[in-house]
Amino acid sequence: MAQAYDLTIKEFNACEETWCPGCGDFGVNGALKRAMVNLELSPEQIVLVTGIGCSSKISDYFKSYTFHTIHGRPLPVASAIKIANPDLNVIVATGDGDGYAIGMGHFIHAIRRNVNITMIVMNNQVYGLTKGQFSPTAARGFESGTSPDGSEEDPIDGPALALAAGASFVARSFSADMKGSIATFEAAIRHRGFSVVDDLSPCVTFNKVNTYAWFRQNIRKLEEEDYEPTDRTRALELVLNSEKIPVGILYQDDSPPDTYEERVLKDLTKAPVWENLDPKGWEYARIMDEFR
């Protein structure tokens, strides 16, 4: 939707970021702002929903409507917002611990419902906000404060789960690749239906293994290859069997089934216009008395 004024990144600047210097989340924040400018989406057209963790501090640094939820719960809140006002562009920004651990159940169900929202997972393999414990995506053998002898658990692969669960848009990005991240975020937001982007976002404080240098040596950019993201089986095989981590759009269904809000509301033209509601008309006292 074109704006009556020229959008700039400054439109989305809020307070100063306080992530650790060098944190990969800076790259995500910058790429997301640029994607919004390129898509000509103004702050009042966007709701950014976050959970708990370093990644979820982005809702303080991104100027739009925001909702900072409790641990693992951004997806159900975002789904409710989208159903309440389908015209809003709803984005979930979360971390690998928040999204793939306590929030895993919501992740799978958001996929099967095909809610028209975008989920960006800042994946750094640790719980950075609580001093670097290993997260669900940490490799077996990863040493941390809670696994001094190395983790005995196998890692979760978010994109593999999303593909297996039937997601219609699955991608990976690398926070140090600004151009690639912007393009991936734009495609995810434009996509009609549930889209998930697993962003490789290094934690410079607690993860001394999966560093920027490590990722640069261990990723493969699909944009540089003859790869078409239209085959779910091929995408899943690529994610599971590639020697290097594939980065880019892994799978995209250009004609996905109807979205969850379309099914629930049936006719979106008859959806309530919430901004026209008069709060004075709500019978707060009667409701409180009834359920007290």
Is there a contact between 91 and 69 (Cβ–Cβ < 8 Å)? Answer: no
DSSP line for 171-215: EEEETT-HHHHHHHHHHHHHSSS-EEEEEE---TTT-SSS-HHHH
Per DSSP bridges, beta strands 65-68 and 89-95 are unpaired
Q: What is the largest CA-CA distance in the chain?
A: 65
For residue 252, the SS3 value is strand
Q: Which residues are paired to 147 by β-bridges?
A: 144
- For domain 9-267, the CATH superfamily is Thiamin diphosphate (ThDP)-binding fold, Pyr/PP domains (3.40.50.970)
Q: State yes or no: pLDDT of 9 exceeds 60.
A: yes
Structure tokens at 116: 């028209």
Q: Domain spans of the chain?
A: 9-267
pLDDT tens-digit profile of 63-116? 999 999 998 899 999 999 999 999 999 999 999 989 999 889 999 999 999 999
For residues 186-193, average pLDDT: 96
What is the distance between the alpha carbons of residues 227 and 250, in angstroms, rounded to a whole number? Answer: 9
For residues 29-55, average pLDDT: 95
pTM recorded for the entire structure: 0.88
